[in-house]
Every structure is written in C-alpha cells, then in structure tokens.
C-alpha cells in the first residue's frame, strides 16, 4: 500500500532510485553515526545532492510540491537518510541563493558546485565586526549533516563595539556564516536514541575570520540568484516543509510496513491473522486517512503561499502562520500514526535493526525539534487571532 504520488517528479525518481542502497547501508550509517560514504556518493551521482540549489549551483530550483514529495520518499526509505535530505539540501539551497556574488564564487564556483553543507542556523555564536567581515566565536549543537560537509553553517549575532545590532524594534540582526570545515572544531557527541546516522555533531568556532561575503541574513527573502518562489520566501518555509515531509515519510514507512506484516502476523493464542481483525482494519483506515489528510494540508498551505509569492504578492504573516501550523499538525499526526503502528505490530516492532524499530526511534527523536514545537503553534494562533501583527520567527 505504498503511496503513489500524484505528479510526475524527476526528483522523487532520483531519490527512489537509491532505495536498495539506502536499505543495504542503513545499519552501517547507524553504526558509524553518520551517513555512509556510499550513500553520500550516490546522492552526488544521482544529482540529488545539488537538486535544491539555484541553477547557477547545479540545481533545478524545485517547487514546494517537488521538495515535499522528495523528502517524504527519502524519509520513507530511512529516517536518517530523510533527515540528511532536510539538512544538507536546504543548507546548500540557502547558500546558493543568498550569498553575495563573491561568496558564491568562493564557495560554489571554485569547487565546481560540489559542495555539501550542514550545520545549525540558529544564532548560537557572536561575530565581532572587523574590517571586511567578522571574528566568529560560538558553539552549536545538532549540526545535522556535518559528518560529510565541506562547509558548515553557523548562525550568529553580529556585534559592534560589544553591542547587538537591531533591524527593527525587538528584532535583532541575525546572520549565517558559511565556514570551511578546516576552521571548525567538532565534538562528536552524537550518541542518541534515534536518527543515529545523521552525523549531527556538536561543533565550535573560536575567533575565526569570516568575510562579509560568506555570510547572509538568516531571514532574508532576497535571493542573489535563482528564480523560484521558494527562494523569495526564505529559509523558514523551506525548513518547515522539510520537517513536515520528514515526519510524514517516516510515519508512512511504518504504516506500510505494518500493513504488510499484518498479512502474516499472528498474535499469541490468536488463530486469525492481524490483517483479518476488524480492530486492526479500523485502526489502519483511520491512521492512513489521517496521514493523507495531513499531507494534503501541508501541500495546500505551502503551495498556496508559493502561488501568492510567485504571482508577485506578499508573504503575509498569515500565510507564514498557515505553513508553520501545517508543519506542526503533520508532525503530530505522523507521530500518532507511528505510535499506533508500533503498538499493533507487537513484538515485531521491538526487534533491533528492523525498519519498524528504527523508524519508531527516529520519529520520536526527530519530532523533539523546536522548529515544530507547541510554541510554534501558539505563535501562529496569535497571528490568526490578531493578538500580534507578526511573529518574525515564523
């Protein structure tokens, strides 16, 4: 009962072509706690690694539908593989679109566009303003995809004479530095319950010079290159779409796997297969329907905003709130589906190394992320209710 996508999507096909390899390498990635070199190389060979980039950096500038369906496919294959999809691909997407021409030439052109990027965009560092750039110091956790990244993203607050800078009342200036791997000190620290294969290392930078040209504003919606509406919507919608799609993909894998298992699964003292039990049938119907509804909500929210921006309209606070709430709802729904699948699978879901067991660990790790937390839903509801005009973090 694997979901059949409604649209022809060459990016989904690129990801789908890696299914056998990802399944074969999943245990290796978990054991090494970072994506296996074989999968990384296959992402390059398939064109998947650069696909989300601006065309000038080897990308195809996909629509939100294409991005979401590709991420769902990747997460369906394996949670860690899917997480790499929402870490590496948006990171290079942003750098390829928002770096200045000089920064783009240094990072992308000089490397033949073979650039993998990961890291943490939240401003956990400070950049002391100096001639030509910043002296960057800080430490960041959960640097997803940094296990194989040539460049590392590091969010920071620019500091002038010891003072933070403000772009408007209550909104500090926040920027992202693109730092060569050689300038970064890694503290592995990635010993976790799930998403073990993502190489989400802790890292630090100490008094490293970063030129202005290798930084960009965290909330910018003004691409230096690229023509897609997504690039004119900024990093927040792309990140939200990634989290929603990832959760949907992992949950879908569990629903598919438990449906297949049910045909041959007999519980102790039960002469009927799991698939023949009305309670299982009702539960499956309910959770598959909930999953489909959540997916449609995500597609609707993101493509609606995309159409407005693509037509020259404004990305309003309400549109941004709609997208963020859709991502939170999809995550909550996916977690509920995963919990049900784990429960009805019985002891089959606790066998170490099985897809069900790994997916369950992954979804309960990935859905802890602050980007799809309760606070996000509250912030969005306050916009809907008119309590505040805007929440800049949405």
Neighbours of 276 (CB within 10 A): 13
Query: Which residue blocks in 117-212 are alpha helix, DSSP H?
Result: none
State the SS3 of 37-49: HHHHHHHHHHCCC
Neighbours of 129 (CB within 10 A): 14
Domains along the sequence of the chain with CATH: 11-98 (1.10.540.10), 117-217 (2.40.110.10), 229-385 (1.20.140.10)
Please list the ranges in the chain whose pLDDT falls under 70. 1-9, 265, 267-271
Q: What angle do CA 84, 287, 335 make, to 5 degrees?
A: 40
Q: 168: helix, coil or strand?
A: strand
Q: 319: helix, coil or strand?
A: helix
Q: 264: helix, coil or strand?
A: coil
pLDDT of residue 4: 40
Query: Which residue blocks in 33-152 are alpha helix, DSSP H?
Result: 37-46, 64-77, 79-98, 101-107
pLDDT of residue 169: 83
pLDDT of residue 271: 64
Burial-class residue 70 by CB neighbours within 10 Å (0-12, 13-18, 19+).
Answer: buried
Q: 239: helix, coil or strand?
A: helix
β partners of residue 245? none
CA distance 239 to 161: 33
State both tokens at 116: 């993998």
Burial-class residue 268 by CB neighbours within 10 Å (0-12, 13-18, 19+).
Answer: exposed
pLDDT tens, position by position, 23-58: 999 999 999 999 999 999 999 999 999 999 999 999
Task: Provide the whole-model pTM.
Answer: 0.94
Query: Which residue blocks in the chain are alpha helix, DSSP H?
Result: 10-16, 19-32, 37-46, 64-77, 79-98, 101-107, 235-262, 278-310, 317-344, 355-366, 374-385
State both tokens at 99: 């770096």
pLDDT of residue 202: 95
């Amino acid at each position: 009962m694997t979901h059949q996508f409604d649209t022809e999507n060459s990016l989904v096909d690129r990801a789908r072509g890696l299914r056998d390899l990802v399944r074969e390498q999943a245990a290796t990635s978990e054991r090494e706690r970072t994506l296996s070199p074989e999968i990384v190389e296959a992402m390059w060979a398939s064109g998947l690694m650069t696909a989300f980039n601006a065309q000038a950096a080897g990308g195809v500038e996909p629509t939100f539908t294409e991005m979401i369906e590709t991420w769902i496919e990747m997460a369906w294959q394996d949670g860690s593989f899917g997480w790499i999809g929402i870490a590496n691909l948006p990171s290079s997407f942003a750098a390829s679109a928002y770096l200045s021409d000089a920064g783009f030439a240094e990072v992308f052109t000089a490397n033949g566009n073979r650039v993998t990027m990961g890291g943490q965009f939240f401003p956990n560092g400070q950049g002391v303003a100096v001639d030509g750039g910043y002296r960057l110091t800080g430490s960041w956790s959960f640097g997803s995809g940094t296990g194989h990244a040539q460049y590392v993203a590091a969010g920071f607050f620019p500091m002038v004479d010891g003072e933070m800078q403000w772009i408007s009342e209550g909104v500090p200036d926040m920027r992202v530095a693109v730092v060569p791997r050689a300038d970064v000190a890694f503290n592995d620290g990635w010993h976790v319950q799930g998403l073990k294969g993502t190489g989400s290392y802790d890292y630090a930078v100490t008094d490293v010079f970063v030129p202005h040209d290798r930084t960009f504003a965290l909330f910018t919606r003004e691409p230096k290159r690229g023509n897609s509406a997504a690039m004119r919507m900024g990093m927040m919608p792309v990140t939200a779409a990634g989290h929603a799609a990832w959760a949907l993909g992992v949950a879908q894998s569990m629903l598919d796997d438990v449906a297949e298992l049910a045909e041959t699964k007999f519980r102790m003292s039960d002469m009927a297969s799991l698939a023949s039990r009305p309670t299982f049938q009702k539960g499956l119907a309910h959770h598959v329907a909930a999953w489909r509804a959540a997916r449609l909500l995500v597609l609707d929210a993101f493509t609606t905003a995309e159409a407005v921006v693509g037509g020259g309209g404004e990305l309003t606070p309400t549109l941004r709130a709609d997208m963020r709430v859709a991502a939170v709802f999809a995550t909550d729904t996916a977690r509920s589906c995963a919990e049900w699948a784990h429960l009805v699978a019985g002891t089959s879901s606790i066998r170490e190394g099985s897809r069900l067991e790994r997916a369950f660990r992954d979804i309960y790790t990935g859905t802890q992320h602050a980007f799809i937390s309760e606070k996000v839903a509250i912030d969005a509801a306050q916009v809907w209710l008119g309590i505040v005009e805007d929440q800049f973090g949405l």
